[in-house]
Amino acid sequence: MMPDFPNFKSLSLHDRTVMHARIMASQPRISELTFTNLFIWHSVYQTEWSVYQDWLFIIGSHEGEPFALPPVGPGPREKAVMKLMEYLEKERGAAKPRLERADSTLMQELESDPALCIQPMREQYDYVYRSRDLIELTGNRYHRKRNHINAMQKKYSFRYEPMEEIYVHQCTELVEKWCGIKRCEEDMNLLGEWEAVGEMLAHYQALGVRGGVILIEDRVAAFAFGEMLNPTTAVIHIEKADPEIGELYAVINQQFAAHEFSDASFINREQDLGEPGLRTAKMSYHPDHLVEKFLITISEREKGNLS
């Protein structure tokens, strides 16, 4: 049964059928708006959902502060956004009601409303690449990436295989190794990512995603999961590789795209979270474009006047 606003329901795997259909019908552009992404991070963000008229409402919590994601459904969505802001303030006690990860379409719908403050979230912009570029790696700008793959071919005999249940345990061991080196227990963001990867490995079949592994001597050395975000664009949710083999990320990136998403025009590789190293790595693949995202809050002069 769907929860009717203002009632919200904690996200569970059983909600996939209803939510996935509604989300896909909206043809999302931002990487957050897939059921898979919402589900694998649901424990970290305490994700809940509800239905208000023609819109799907999704809320979560970060560091004790509630927030909303963009209403999923037809535009214009100004009424839905204001309803969400009012709910967050009056029912969830949000000191500063906010809607995160709004795309440019929603921003344009709302930018003329003086009650709202809209700010870019550069650290959340999604990097989108032409799939042909990631698969073929042609031209001088991909020279270094080809060198990484050639170096791997000289050092190791590796092969790509689609994800199967027999590889899940080895993938888990690889993540544990990765977390041990990255010291996940000392970083809440990495700890949350570890939990999200665990959810994916436990439920990838039920989530209907595509997965693949790189095997070296029949052991998992890297793996990835993704799915179609909209009719033309795939999104990569998870990508992990043995941190002691530097060239592996270039290999899993290229092989996963070639084997699983050659039918997509574009591949969304999500955001850089403001991390300089991650931003450099994502820019090194020369994105076709970035998907802008915005933070929407109530302007100072309008606080307390939500209705």
Please say whether the beta carbons of 44 and 197 come within 8 A: no
Cα(94)–Cα(92) distance, integer angstroms? 6
| Mean pLDDT across 46-74 | 96
In the predicted model, is pLDDT for residue 184 greater than 80?
no
The model carries a pTM of: 0.94
Report domain extents, the chain: 9-125+293-302, 126-291
9-125+293-302 and 126-291 agree in CATH topology: yes
Cα(213)–Cα(223) distance, integer angstroms? 4
Strands lying side by side in the sheet with 219-230? 158-162, 210-216, 219-230, 233-241, 266-268, 126-130, 289-291
The pLDDT of residue 230: 97
For the stretch 293-303, pLDDT in tens is 999 999 865 55
In the predicted model, is pLDDT for residue 5 greater than 70?
yes
Return the CATH superfamily for domain 126-291: Gcn5-related N-acetyltransferase (GNAT) (3.40.630.30)
**Residues sharing a CB contact under 8 Å with residue 6, sequence separation 6 or more, in sequence order:** 50, 87, 91
In the predicted model, is pLDDT for residue 78 greater than 80?
yes
Residue spans of beta strands (DSSP E) within the chain: 9-10, 48-52, 55-62, 65-68, 98-102, 116-120, 126-130, 158-162, 210-216, 219-230, 233-241, 266-268, 289-291, 294-298
| Mean pLDDT across 207-231 | 97
The pLDDT of residue 289: 98
Query: By three-state DSSP, how is residue 49 classified?
Result: strand
The pLDDT of residue 300: 67
In the predicted model, is pLDDT for residue 306 greater than 60?
no
The pLDDT of residue 299: 84
Cα(252)–Cα(284) distance, integer angstroms? 16
The pLDDT of residue 134: 98
Give the torsion through C-alpha atoms of 272, 277, 280, 285, to 10 deg: -70
Of all residues in the chain, the percent with pLDDT exceeding 90 is 89
Work out the mean pLDDT of the chain and round it to a whole number. 94
Pairing of strands 266-268, 233-241: parallel
CATH number of 9-125+293-302: 3.40.630.30
The pLDDT of residue 303: 53
The pLDDT of residue 149: 97
Q: How many CB atoms lie within 10 A of CB 154?
A: 8
Cα(262)–Cα(24) distance, integer angstroms? 20
- The one-letter amino acid code at 30 reads I
Cα(216)–Cα(206) distance, integer angstroms? 27
Q: Dump the DSSP string for 280-293.
A: HHHHTT--SEEE--
In the predicted model, is pLDDT for residue 244 greater than 70?
yes
